[in-house]
């Protein structure tokens, strides 16, 4: 039996292969000895025949995974061996031992690929096609369908992501009309872990799916608290140089100061540290970081910073000041004009 999986959705192919391996290993205690992977980009037919026609060791079946072989048969000029490779592969696929499961993993195949065309025709003529083989095209979701894909992935993991947050995450992931689904899945997993049981919201996406990581925001605010103008200014301009939008930086910094003020207020009320994650609706590791950072600021400092951030937001949105300059002036105002100005001058 053969499986021909092709397409540009590498994540989908990898997950299906992992599921097949899991089922094989669960059913056969000797499966590890009857499983092998081959690089089809350099494989010759003799090696493939030897692997595919070998009898399983003690167990009932043997699985052979070959990557990138069938795509070598795509129509193209200047390859004299392509026809012979296709004919040899077709002969093997049509006569596989019943104990062999041949899994062919390839990029998206050309519609006129001779192996693909043969497999489609051959399977349709079988009395029980599902028992003879399987062909499946793995295409990633389009940019418009990506939010739904993210929602489905979150649900499958036992979590939730708000529709607006899924759209925001999709916008951040799509580059030149393409998306790396492995990256998308990793970012979604990070967000679900951070949300810790609640639905992932737009603020979560803005905080975590950005060149500015959570640790960077803590470090930036720490620099402000130490009145380290050069350090804070250096980090600010690194954020900007990495393409981070000034208004997003402002929103993230304002959110951090609001959380610090709330953490400090809860502490003043006598709320235990173990209760902070629940009261702040944040994972324990984030609440612990906030608690440690809040102890380094005075209530007066936090209040002044929040008032200044609100003013800056209004000034930017009414066009009274350029966003980059407003952030520079915020650093200067918090840390002292001399140190911030020295950092900007040194930056050139």
Task: Find out whether 265 and 306 touch, Cβ atoms under 8 Å.
Answer: no
For position 348, what pLDDT does the model report? 35
User: Where a domain ends, among 89, 107, 137?
Assistant: 137
Non-local CB neighbours of 332 within 8 Å, separated by 6+ positions: 229, 340, 341
| Among 56, 130, 133, residue whose Cα is nearest residue 90 | 133
Which residue is it, tokens 């997993």? Answer: 189
Radius of gyration for the chain, computed over Cα atoms and rounded to the nearest angstrom: 28
Residues 223 and 340 in one domain: yes
Looking at the structure, tell me whether residues 13 and 122 fall in a common domain.
yes
The pTM of the full predicted model, rounded to 2 decimals, is: 0.62
| One domain, residues 270 and 224 | yes
Confidence at residue 344, expressed as pLDDT on a 0 to 100 scale: 42
pLDDT above 70 covers a percentage of the chain that reads: 93
End-to-end Cα separation, the chain, in angstroms: 66
CA 93 to chain CA centroid, Å, is 36
What's the CATH number where 319 sits?
1.20.272.10
Domain count, the chain: 3
Token pair for 28: 């056969």
181-189, long-range: CB < 8 A, 24+ apart: 181/9, 181/10, 181/11, 181/12, 181/140, 182/10, 182/11, 184/146, 184/149, 184/150, 185/11, 185/153, 188/150, 188/153, 188/154, 188/157, 188/161, 189/157
Q: State whether 198 and 232 are in the same domain.
A: no
Which of 118, 137, 156 delimits the end of a domain?
137
pLDDT at 109 over 50: yes
The kind and range of the H/E element at 224 are helix 214-225
Q: Does residue 174 share a domain with residue 119? A: no
Q: What's the sign of the alpha-carbon dihedral 145, 150, 153, 155?
A: negative
The secondary structure of residue 178, as a DSSP letter, is B
pLDDT digits (tens, 9 = 90+) for 273-330: 888 888 887 777 778 888 888 888 888 888 988 999 999 989 988 989 999 999 999 9
Higher pLDDT, residue 101 or 61? 101
Domain that holds residue 238: 214-347
Does residue 47 carry a pLDDT above 70? yes
- Is the same domain home to 219 and 327? yes
Q: Do residues 219 and 336 both lie within one domain?
A: yes
Last residue of a domain, one of 119, 137, 155: 137
Helix axes 82-94, 45-53, angle to 10 degrees: 10
Tell whether 183 and 250 lie within a shared domain: no
**71 and 57 in a common domain:** yes
Q: pLDDT at position 229, please?
A: 86
């Amino acid at each position: 039996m053969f499986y021909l999986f092709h397409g540009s959705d590498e994540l989908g192919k990898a997950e299906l292969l992992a599921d097949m391996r899991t089922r094989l290993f669960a059913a056969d205690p000797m499966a590890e000895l009857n499983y092998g992977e081959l690089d089809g980009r350099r494989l010759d037919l003799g090696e493939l025949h030897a692997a595919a026609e070998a009898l399983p060791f003690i167990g009932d079946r043997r699985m052979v995974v070959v990557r990138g072989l069938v795509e070598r048969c795509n129509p193209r000029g200047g390859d004299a061996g392509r026809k012979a490779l296709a004919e040899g592969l077709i002969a093997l696929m049509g006569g596989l031992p019943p104990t062999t499961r041949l899994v062919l993993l390839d990029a998206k195949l050309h519609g006129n690929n001779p192996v693909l065309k043969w497999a489609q025709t051959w399977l349709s003529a079988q009395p029980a096609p599902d028992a003879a083989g399987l062909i499946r095209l793995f295409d990633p979701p389009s940019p418009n369908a990506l939010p739904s894909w993210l929602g489905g992935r979150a649900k499958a993991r036992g979590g939730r992501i708000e529709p607006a947050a899924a759209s925001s995450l999709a916008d951040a992931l799509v580059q030149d009309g393409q998306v790396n689904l492995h990256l998308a899945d990793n970012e979604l997993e990070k967000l679900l872990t951070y949300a810790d049981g609640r639905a992932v919201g737009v603020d979560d996406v803005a905080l975590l799916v950005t060149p500015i990581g959570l640790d960077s925001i803590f470090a930036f605010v720490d620099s402000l608290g130490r009145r380290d103008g050069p350090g804070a200014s250096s980090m600010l301009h690194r954020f900007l140089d990495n393409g981070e939008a000034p208004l997003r930086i402002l929103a993230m910094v304002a959110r951090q100061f609001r959380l610090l003020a709330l953490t400090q207020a809860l502490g003043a009320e006598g709320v235990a540290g173990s209760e902070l994650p629940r009261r702040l609706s944040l994972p324990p590791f984030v609440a612990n970081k906030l608690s440690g950072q809040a102890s380094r600021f005075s209530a007066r400092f936090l209040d002044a910073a929040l008032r200044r951030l609100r003013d800056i937001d209004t000034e930017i949105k009414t066009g009274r000041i350029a966003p980059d300059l407003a952030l520079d002036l915020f650093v200067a105002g918090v840390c002292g004009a001399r140190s911030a100005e020295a950092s900007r001058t040194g930056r050139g």
